[in-house]
Structure 1
Amino acid sequence: MDESPTCVIFGAGEYYGAAPVVPEGAFVVAADGGLDHLRELGIEPDVVIGDFDSLRGRRPADGERTVALPAEKDDPDMLSALKIGWAHGCRRFHIHGGLGGRIDHTIANIQLMALVAQRGGVGFLHGDGTVVTAICDGELRFPANDVAEGRMVSVFSHTDESLDVNEPGLKYRLRHARMTNSRVNGVSNEFLRGVPSAIDVHHGTLVVTFPSEAPLPQVRHFHGFSGDLGALDTEVSPVLAVPARPAHAAAQPPVAG
């Protein structure tokens, strides 16, 4: 998976004044208003996708590199961008502009990192000096580094429970822990200078946050994964569809309250 093509996605969230790095040869996707940021940086995307409700600049020209989506659909634009990258063969994703701004979008993007992890890929959300990622039934292995004391590494269970969680080499060396998604027992750990470390989970999915100045971890899975992120979604499913109001409802006078 680490040898698969890398996809870099630009979203419409906050960039915190940082200049995103695009690795050479990476597949670049603009998710809706992320195109504004790519234009400012002078980077040409391989694909632009979205309903363009958050785009401030001109709408991209129609063509094979533009995937226009309807405004009403189940999937957020970020998931659509991930699906485009996955279909291109990418299993490693770097997302800029996916944190900050609307809190609901931030939570959604963190959930998407868990989805990618549960399909055997890895995604990294970059923003405000922090990286957010997820790992399912596997290990994040960090090389020795010199991250300053007080810069936190935190681990949360995304699944109902995560079993046999270990954090060798960190300041608090969690061993064979059980985590749940309603108990906080992995927050505010730290790297030790010059000491390699790891975070692993043998059953479950973890969300992990760490300082952006830390080296990115190598990813190892304990078994193979199947499945993908699904096809692009272009309509509202019956589960989310809003029923039409009965004709007589519009004629009813408002009720004083």
Structure 2
Amino acid sequence: MNKVALFLNGQAPKLVPNIEQYELIYCTDGAYGYLSKLNIQPDVITGDMDSLDLQLISDGIEIIPTPDQNFTDFEKALQIINDRKHQEVHVYGSSGMEHDHFLGNLTAGLKFKEKLTLLFFDDYSYYFFADNQTRLDGYEGRIISLYPFPETKNITTKGLKYPLQNEDLSIVARIGTRNRAESNEVEINFEEGNLLIFIQNK
């Protein structure tokens, strides 16, 4: 199993994920406070350490200071995770709270989408950067949003209420939010660009 969790200093999840599914738990320094309240002890804490009193950290937790202010704590954490040869990262706390952080987190995720499998989770949906050919199973009736980042070329979909046929999306012209799965099998294919898919939680 080469799947890890990464908790960021955004909105703390209301529902605690199954921690046993992860090889390691990473968090940025700002997320340590709410993890403690959720009774989750991380294996690794990283960040610029401006939000944490190191004297309060439990023994046995690895601390990796990353003071370089040219990069966000999320981006630096992803670099550490990639360097350690992990493959799949489930990210919590990436949205909510301050919106500029959320947009910055999406940008950092884009930089690593070819290196890591990134899945983002919050209380409303989970989302990810789609492959050029993406198939979704088991989401009939749920809202599915297609968000170009910043543009996506020649998109064709099957199984959505509002289908696309070789069409383009762009954040300055046309986006594809608030669509809906009309079957358990949804296919989303595109030729160029980057596409975020948001899937509504049950």
Indicate the structure (1 or 2) with the bigger Cα radius of gyration.
1
Counterparts of 1:128 and 1:143 in 2: how far apart (Å)? 20
State yes or no: 1:91 paired with 2:81.
no
* Comparing 165-174 and 51-60, the one that deviates more: 51-60
Report the residue type matching 1:208 in the other structure: I
Identity %: 22
- Higher helix share goes to which structure? 2
Distance 1:34 1:64, change over 3 A: closer
The answer to whether the 8 Å contact 2:82/2:115 transfers is: no
What's the CA shift string for 1:92-131, capped at 9, x where partnerless? 22111111111110111122232222x2433222113111
Report the residue type matching 2:181 in the other structure: F
Residue 123 of structure 1: aligned partner: 118
Residue 165 of structure 1: aligned partner: 155
| CA-based RMSD | 2.5
What's the CA shift string for 1:154-207, capped at 9, x where partnerless? 112214x322212211112212112223122312111124x3112222211112
The answer to whether the 8 Å contact 1:114/1:206 transfers is: no
How many equivalent residue pairs? 202
Distance 1:211 1:184, change over 3 A: same
Q: TM-score, normalised by structure 2?
A: 0.86
Counterparts of 2:156 and 2:187 in 1: how far apart (Å)? 8
1:11-26 pair list within 5 angstroms? 11-26=8-23
Q: TM-score, normalised by structure 1?
A: 0.69
Residue 152 of structure 1: aligned partner: 143
The answer to whether the 8 Å contact 2:75/2:109 transfers is: no
Counterparts of 1:99 and 1:156 in 2: how far apart (Å)? 15
Ranges in structure 1 where 5+ consecutive residues have no aligned partner: 214-257
1:7-156 pair list within 5 angstroms? 7-55=4-52, 59-60=56-57, 65-70=62-67, 73-117=69-113, 119-136=114-131, 138-146=132-140, 148=141, 151-156=142-147
Counterparts of 2:52 and 2:98 in 1: how far apart (Å)? 15
The answer to whether the 8 Å contact 2:148/2:175 transfers is: no
The answer to whether the 8 Å contact 2:144/2:177 transfers is: yes
